[in-house]
Amino acid sequence: MAVSLQKGQKISLSKEAGGELTQVKLGLGWDVAQGPQDKKGGFLGKLFGGGAGGDSIDLDASCIMFDANKQAVDAIWFSQLKSKDGSIVHTGDNRTGDGDGDDEVINVDLSRVPANVTSLVFTVNSFTGQTFETVENAFCRIVNANNNSEVARYNLSAQGGHTAMVMAKVYRHNNEWKMHAIGETASGRTFHDLMPAITPHA
């Protein structure tokens, strides 16, 4: 049974998975908010979508690797889908949020993450500038890639005028990997814009 995380909660991945966890997937999913209709029958969400309309939202998941000094070592995002060491692989950009399940997935081989990397911070941002007022049912989850069982899920329920969120981090503590649900709102089109908000959590 997967743990449903609350903001600020920390868990041990191996304990929740019932054994050592080496291959994990971080899945991100979201839907377009079906908000109040305007007088012409169109959803107000279209106001925020620009040319994209109200029927799709392009959220981007990123993973930033940090060392013990809170210095960024590498970043995995839609312009670099694989970490330089090969331990983390992004499966690619989803530009709509259509369908059930994970819309974007980042695969992590914890056994291959370099020893100098102490934390992996996962973020999500709207490259097109759409705000989270147009997003609903957003979540991130950790899955044991060996058996596809969900270990933990964090619902990103904060709707508002922000365009990004520092979702969670997976970090080393006493020779085991843990997860911290962060859930801090931020604004920016890519993870570069979010670094001032990300680094304090690294």
DSSP states of 42-79:
-BTTHHHHGGG-SS---EEEEEEEEETTS-EEEEEBTT
More confident residue, 113 or 52: 113
Two tokens, residue 168: 């969670």
Two tokens, residue 156: 């990103």
More confident residue, 199 or 28: 199
pLDDT over 60 (residue 126): yes
Residue 38: pLDDT band by 50, 70, 90 thresholds? Answer: very low
What is the rounded CA–CA span in Å between residue 81 and residue 104?
12
> Rounded to two decimals, what is the model's pTM?
0.84
| pLDDT (tens digit per residue) in 6-17 | 889 999 988 888
How far is CA 33 from each of CA 4, 17, 22, 58, rounded to the nearest angstrom?
Answer: 22, 32, 35, 13
pLDDT over 60 (residue 139): yes
**Of all residues in the chain, what percent carry a pLDDT higher than 70?**
84
Instruction: Please give the mean pLDDT across all residues of the chain.
Output: 82
Residue 30: pLDDT band by 50, 70, 90 thresholds? Answer: confident
pLDDT of residue 199: 95
Terminal Cα-to-Cα distance of the chain (whole angstroms): 28
10-12 and 117-126 strand pairing = unpaired
| pLDDT (tens digit per residue) in 73-87 | 999 999 999 999 999
> Averaged over 177-182, what is the pLDDT?
92
What is the rounded CA–CA span in Å between residue 19 and residue 146?
12
pLDDT of residue 202: 92
**Of all residues in the chain, what percent carry a pLDDT higher than 90?**
43
The count of C-alpha atoms lying within 13 angstroms of the C-alpha of 94, restricted to the half-sphere facing its C-beta, is 23
pLDDT over 50 (residue 177): yes
pLDDT of residue 106: 94
